[in-house]
Amino acid sequence: MNQYFENFAYELTKPSKHHDGPITIPEPVDPDLHHPEKITKMGKTVLWVVAGIMTLGFITFVAHSQRIAYRFRTIPVITAMINVTAAISYLAMATGLGGALTNERHDSRYSAKREVLVPRYIDWLITTPLLILDITLLAGMPLGEILIAIFADVTMIITGLIAGLHPDVRARWIFFAISVASMFYVFYTLVGSGRSYSYLRSQKVGSLYNQVSLALLVVWSLYAVTFVLGEGAGYVSADTEVLLFAVLDVIAKPLWGAVVVFAVPEEGHVLLPESLASPLGGGYTALSQGDERREDA
């Protein structure tokens, strides 16, 4: 007798401990039913390790920022925030958050539910705009253009999350397409105008910008590829997906951040008005003590 019939017979004959109701006939089990695709111990371990790496990155960038003058702190502080956000997100995933949220597949090839780790999208929603801020400040891009790039980036993440969770296959790929289009708009801004601005600052800033923007293009594109392989089309297991995103996150946050923070030439620091660069400049309080304020009164 095979296992299925053994279980079936047991279900029919087992004494009920909890109630005296009628004995129910168990649902027949579909032999082709896939198990829900979830991360295992291996995926969890990767999540814990990356939580540790991001914490180390955070400590390094904070320590560095505290040793330098205020006017040089902008990019190190932004980079520290990027790393601590990722550390918290990885901690949330390592301790099991996200497992309950699954996208159900109705296409023929795949009929199981799959875990979608939502904390990573919340992380990206915060960290990718900060990464864009890092690199556009390095380029010396005008605020008007920075804001448009950040908006395109936010659109990329939100539509990516919708694509990951959507139960309808066609809708999933429509949102994926919007996400990819937004990513290309970000690339266009960074490579197009960003590069010219950076060379206007200096040759050295231009060549650093060239390298980091190119690295960003390659690494960010790989996020889209990983999405297709994992949540998108289900070619790889949830564990492999965790591993791929982990490698990309470590490259994109602490490693890429370290290059932007430590390789920046003297003239590549963010240009700030005196009031934002030094407490001696008076910070915002300068306004209340200055001439302009008196004229207002």
Binding region for ligand RET (CB under 6 A): 124, 127-128, 131, 156-157, 160, 163, 176, 179-180, 183, 220, 223-224, 227, 249, 252-253
Distance CA 267, CA 275 (A): 19
Instruction: Please state, as a whole number, how many other Cβ atoms lie within 10 Å of the Cβ of residue 22.
Output: 7
Residue nearer to ligand RET on the CB measure, 72 or 176: 176
Chain centroid offset of residue 156 CA: 11
In whole angstroms, how close is the CB of 33 to ligand RET at the nearest point?
A: 28
Residue nearer to ligand RET on the CB measure, 88 or 277: 88
| 37 φ/ψ angles, rounded to the nearest 5 degrees | -85, 105
In whole angstroms, how close is the CB of 243 to ligand RET at the nearest point?
A: 15
> How far apart are the two ends of the chain, measured CA to CA in Å?
93
In whole angstroms, how close is the CB of 158 to ligand RET at the nearest point?
A: 9
Residue nearer to ligand RET on the CB measure, 116 or 141: 116
In angstroms, the Cα distances linking 216 to 40, 112, 163, 208 are: 30, 34, 22, 12
Residue listed under structure tokens 């915002």: 284
Residue nearer to ligand RET on the CB measure, 169 or 272: 169
In whole angstroms, how close is the CB of 58 to ligand RET at the nearest point?
A: 13
Environment class of residue 82 by beta-carbon count within 10 Å: exposed (0-12), middle (13-18) or buried (19+)?
buried
Residue nearer to ligand RET on the CB measure, 128 or 198: 128
Instruction: Please state, as a whole number, how many other Cβ atoms lie within 10 Å of the Cβ of residue 86.
Output: 28
**Residue nearest to ligand RET according to CB distances in the complex:** 160
In whole angstroms, how close is the CB of 181 to ligand RET at the nearest point?
A: 9
